[in-house]
Amino acid sequence: MSRIFQINIMADLSAFDPNSVGNPNNNIFGLPFSESDARLVILPIPWEVTVSYNAGTARAPDHIFTASLQVDLYDPEYTDAWKQGFYMRMPDKKILTKSDYLRKEAELYINYIAQGELVENNKFMTKTLKEINQGSLFLNDWVYEQTSELLKKDKLVALLGGDHSTPFGFFKAMADKFPEFGILQIDAHCDLRKAYEGFNFSHASIMYNALENIPAIKKLVQVGIRDYCEEELDYINNSNERVVTYFDRDIKHRQYEGDTWKKIVDEIIANLPQHVFVSFDIDGLDPKLCPHTGTPVQGGFETEQVFYLLNKLHLSGKKIIGFDLNEVGVSHDEWDENVGARVLYKLCNLLTISNPQNG
């Protein structure tokens, strides 16, 4: 059933045709909102310093913006959510420049350790590692400041990466507003490694860092995991159920033996607390939908399976309080960013309807 929203519109939509082609002179999805009159603000983070395989995601926000102009605004489940206003800031060029510089340093470092060399035996590599870790701390603080500012203005906030290390500061800002919340992580990877490759805030360490440093995160529910190490499995098993992981293999085996996706989804939702942050790594999807993501892994979900889960989460009465979308690749045929733009739109709709203006 579609949902119609009775809302007060600050932006003048009288001359806006939602059925027409997206206007590139407007903002994300061709919507005619400014940051001040948009209810939801998307913060793009052009950062990919610690990616360990394919690069390109630092430039995803610009490409997703362009692809978003092709997204039809009609969503049969949330027909008018967009009228509350979505706005994306321009990616910060200083952040991108810093990412590009440190990424080159990280590539040299990764190539060095891949040869089995010891970092402590090389002063240049020791200095490089220190610079990269300092850069990640800088980014964490910057994201924290930016998202905190928006939350204090009562904006709904979304983060668009960049790699999956980017939302750490956002998690900290959320903890200031919500004393307790959980994270629903859609991902091919656990991201529970401690200082992967020596990078304290690696993209492969985001959930480890979040759990170790942010007590407000009471629960992490991971869905779609299919590429992980023994260290991560031990962390899950020793977490006293603070981490609950639905491995892709187990999900599929249960379905092969007769369990429905609905039954599994109901279990996933039951493990989550009242307030839920959605952390969506695009590689949680089948790689046919994201072939240029940083570390593609066979298996994964169709988009509609994840949308079903997120809609059921909303219908359960639990509140989605924010989200990040990360690791979208950049491709010559624009397929990755096309899928990314549609995932972003669905997430924006869900975040908006999960937070009614009178609630």
Spatial contact of 152 and 66, defined as CB atoms under 8 Å apart: no
Q: Which CATH architecture has domain 32-353?
A: 3-Layer(aba) Sandwich (3.40)
Domain residue ranges in the chain: 32-353
Decide: residue 242, CB within 10 A, 0-12 exposed, 13-18 middle, 19+ buried: middle
What pTM did the predictor assign?
Answer: 0.94
Q: What's the pLDDT tens digit per position in 151-178?
A: 999 999 999 999 999 999 999 999 999 9
Instruction: Express each pLDDT in 27-84 by its tens digit.
Output: 999 999 999 999 999 999 999 999 877 788 999 999 999 999 999 999 999 999 999 9
Mean pLDDT in residue range 234-259: 98
User: Does 115 score more than 90 pLDDT?
Assistant: no
89-101: b or e for each residue (b if 16 or more CB lie within 10 Å)?
Answer: bebbeebbebbbe
Cβ-based neighbours of 142, under 8 Å, separated by 6 or more:
95, 169
Q: What is the chain's Cα-based Rg?
A: 20
